[in-house]
């Protein structure tokens, strides 16, 4: 696997997120509960940015726009466009359910490293 040195590890504190360019992909690196996650930076539903998405204690992430929710570890869909009520599910039905693309990430030698090769696609 090819690893890209993203940034010094101490620059990302607990609960923070950082956008990283990895080849042609923009990844969102998240430090949450003493773990690192790297995901596609946009929600697979409508491609809106996930930088301000809400994180949940069960390692979930929810798009702030239509509330689609995904598992940070696997990218699996937990909820697909349930909001706004009455419109969200209709819009969600028009777009095929897609997993959130996740990427390998690690902390080593004082740096955060990412790979542009997805784990789940």
- Asked if the 4-114 domain carries CATH number 1.10.10.10, the reply is no
In this structure, what DSSP letter does residue 90 have?
A: H
Exposed e or buried b per residue across 68-87, where buried means at least 16 C-beta atoms within 10 angstroms of its C-beta: bbbbbeebebebbbebeeee
For the chain, 121 residues long, give each residue's pLDDT as a single digit of tens. Answer: 799 999 999 999 999 999 999 988 999 999 999 999 999 999 998 899 999 999 999 999 999 998 999 999 999 999 998 887 777 777 778 788 999 999 999 999 999 999 999 999 7
Domain boundaries, the chain: 4-114
Distance separating alpha carbons of residues 72 and 70, to the nearest angstrom? 6
| Spatial distance between the Cα atoms of 28 and 18, rounded to a whole number of angstroms | 6
């Amino acid at each position: 696997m090819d690893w890209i040195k993203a940034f010094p590890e101490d620059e990302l504190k607990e609960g923070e997120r950082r956008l990283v360019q990895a080849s042609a992909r923009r990844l969102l690196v998240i430090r949450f509960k003493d773990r690192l996650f790297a995901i596609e930076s946009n929600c697979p539903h409508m491609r809106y940015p996930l930088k301000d998405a809400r994180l949940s204690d069960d390692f979930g992430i929810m798009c702030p726009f239509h509330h689609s929710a995904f598992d940070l570890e696997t990218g699996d869909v937990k909820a697909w466009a349930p909001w706004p009520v009455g419109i969200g599910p209709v819009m969600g039905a028009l777009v095929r359910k897609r997993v959130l693309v996740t990427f390998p990430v690690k902390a080593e030698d004082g740096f955060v490293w990412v790979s542009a090769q997805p784990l789940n696609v």
